[in-house]
């Protein structure tokens, strides 16, 4: 797997680390009580989550004024936790309340709602970040409010029309490709067949508050564009009667970046954790289970969380997390995700036919490659409204 980590990132992280204080230790008793409260059988993923510092406690929050606008600067402790993945930075949160906007049902035109193996979906992928309020010239991840993955499927049933989903990524970056096991939460914040919704989702926002007057949040910046597949490798032990069925249908989101080109990969892509070719594991959370470690979803009442049909909800079988298979789980705004590192070689991760799957990905990525202008046009955006420097490796 190609690595795009830069020296700038390493030096920035080292300098920031000198300022950060040590985080609180996990409380085993609290974790035990949490598991008992959640009920159900504990999966391998849940065991790892319990042992991970990043999911040991509830998220930190900032003080907000009467308008719900966050005040004050980030604390050193929060900086440390954001670096280590312990808690998720909620960004500025102004004018972007998922709890108020989330829908209960997604648009699922003609999709297959049964889990299966192989390549489940393919299409175009974008990574975008939005600067913090009033931050027109971001210079690092510290100036970023939110980080999004935009998926535009092009395989059936979406080969004849537009469909997109937006996934908000916690910690404002992808899991570290070099980590053995790192988990970051995600949230499906939108799903739509209307291309015009993209401008509403990623455009600049203007509003007024009683305490601070007029406020401006800059438009999101596309940082990378490429081709992706959702793929479930066949487990060769799946037919064994002793096989743990809960490990079946593992789902990978595999991507290959076409814009920026190799020579334009820079600090932006490195700090956001974007590789030229990479993969992460996707799991979905049972909406009936408590959202104690996902600050963006914790405030969403149950009636506004996804209302999966029985054929999807029955797949959980008392498990808190299951593979995002079938992809129709991702049609439901409010769906909570785990985005997990895939530490293996890409070809090995893709299963027995990994070489062919990777080769097909290369061919599709090359065939559908576009330049910066083409990327913006596909999104219905313009250079006048959206900064493009990030697609050339520089913060903007």
At 276, is the secondary structure helix, strand, or coil?
Answer: coil
**Domain membership flag for residue 206:** yes
Give the separation between CA 183 and CA 179, rounded to whole angstroms: 10
The answer to whether 321 and 283 are in contact (CB under 8 A) is yes
**Domain membership flag for residue 54:** no
pLDDT, residue 244, reads 57
158-216 tens-digit pLDDT: 888 999 999 999 999 999 977 888 999 999 999 999 999 998 999 888 888 888 888 89
If you average pLDDT over every residue of the chain, what do you get? Answer: 75
Please compute the mean of the pLDDT values over residues 91-100 and round it to a whole number. Answer: 39
Residue-range definition of the domain harbouring residue 274: 91-390
243-268 tens-digit pLDDT: 555 557 899 999 999 999 999 999 99
Q: Is the pLDDT of residue 104 over 80?
A: no
Q: Is the pLDDT of residue 74 over 90?
A: no
**Domain membership flag for residue 48:** no
Distances (CA, A) of 270 to 65, 170, 177, 308: 35, 16, 11, 36
The number of domains in the chain is 1
Q: Is the pLDDT of residue 348 over 70?
A: yes
**Domain membership flag for residue 64:** no
At 101, is the secondary structure helix, strand, or coil?
Answer: helix
**Domain membership flag for residue 82:** no
Give the separation between CA 92 and CA 90, rounded to whole angstroms: 6
For 309, the token pair is: 């049909």
Q: Is the pLDDT of residue 321 over 70?
A: yes
Helices (H), the chain: 7-19, 28-38, 44-51, 76-84, 98-101, 197-202, 267-271, 295-298, 310-313, 346-349, 354-367, 372-378
Of the chain, the percentage scoring pLDDT greater than 70 comes to: 68
Comparing 52 with 230, the larger pLDDT belongs to 230
The answer to whether 255 and 138 are in contact (CB under 8 A) is no
**Domain membership flag for residue 209:** yes
Burial of 281 (0-12, 13-18, 19+ CB in 10 A): buried
pLDDT, residue 354, reads 86
Q: Is the pLDDT of residue 77 over 90?
A: no
pLDDT, residue 241, reads 60
Give the separation between CA 201 and CA 14, rounded to whole angstroms: 34
Choose the weakest-confidence range: 205-209, 355-359, 360-364: 205-209
Q: Is the pLDDT of residue 95 over 50?
A: no
Please compute the mean of the pLDDT values over residues 65-69 and round it to a whole number. Answer: 34
**Domain membership flag for residue 285:** yes
116-172 tens-digit pLDDT: 889 999 999 999 999 999 888 899 999 999 999 999 999 988 888 999 999 999 999
E-strand ranges in 132-199 read 144-153, 164-169, 183-192
Of 134, 148, 150, the closest CA to residue 94 belongs to 134
**Domain membership flag for residue 77:** no
């Amino acid at each position: 797997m190609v690595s795009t980590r830069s020296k700038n990132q390493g030096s920035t992280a080292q300098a920031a680390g000198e300022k950060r204080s040590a985080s609180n230790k996990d409380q085993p008793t609290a974790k035990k009580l949490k598991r008992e409260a959640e009920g159900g059988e504990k999966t391998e993923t849940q065991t790892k989550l319990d042992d991970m510092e990043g999911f040991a406690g509830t998220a930190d929050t900032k003080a907000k004024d009467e308008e719900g606008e966050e005040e004050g600067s980030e604390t050193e402790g929060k900086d440390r936790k954001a670096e280590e993945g312990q808690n998720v930075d909620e960004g500025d949160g102004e004018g972007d309340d998922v709890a108020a906007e989330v829908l209960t049902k997604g648009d699922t035109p003609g999709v297959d709602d049964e889990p299966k193996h192989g390549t489940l979906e393919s299409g175009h992928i974008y990574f975008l970040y939005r600067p913090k309020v009033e931050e027109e010239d971001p210079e690092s991840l510290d100036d970023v409010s939110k980080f999004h993955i935009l998926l535009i499927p092009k395989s059936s049933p979406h080969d004849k029309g537009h469909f997109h989903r937006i996934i908000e990524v916690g910690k404002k970056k992808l899991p570290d490709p070099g980590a053995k096991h790192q988990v970051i939460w995600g949230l499906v914040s939108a799903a739509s067949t209307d291309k015009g919704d993209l401008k509403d989702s990623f455009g600049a926002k203007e509003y007024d508050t009683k305490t601070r007057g007029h406020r401006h949040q800059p438009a999101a910046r596309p940082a990378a564009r490429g081709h992706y597949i959702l793929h479930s490798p066949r487990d060769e032990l799946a037919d064994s009667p002793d096989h743990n069925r809960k490990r079946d249908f593992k789902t990978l989101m595999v991507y290959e970046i076409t814009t920026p080109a190799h020579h334009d990969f820079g600090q932006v892509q490195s700090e956001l954790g974007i590789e030229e070719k990479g993969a992460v594991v996707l799991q979905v959370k049972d909406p009936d289970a408590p959202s104690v470690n996902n600050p963006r979803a914790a405030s969403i009442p149950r009636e506004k969380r996804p209302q999966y049909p029985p054929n999807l909800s029955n797949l959980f079988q008392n498990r808190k997390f299951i593979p995002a298979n079938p992809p129709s789980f991702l049609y439901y705004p409010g769906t909570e995700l785990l985005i997990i590192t895939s530490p293996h070689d890409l070809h090995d991760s893709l299963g027995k036919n990994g070489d062919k799957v990777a080769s097909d990905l290369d061919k599709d990525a090359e065939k559908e490659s576009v330049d910066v202008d083409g990327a913006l046009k596909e999104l219905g955006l313009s250079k006048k409204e959206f900064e493009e420097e990030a697609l050339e490796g520089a913060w903007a």
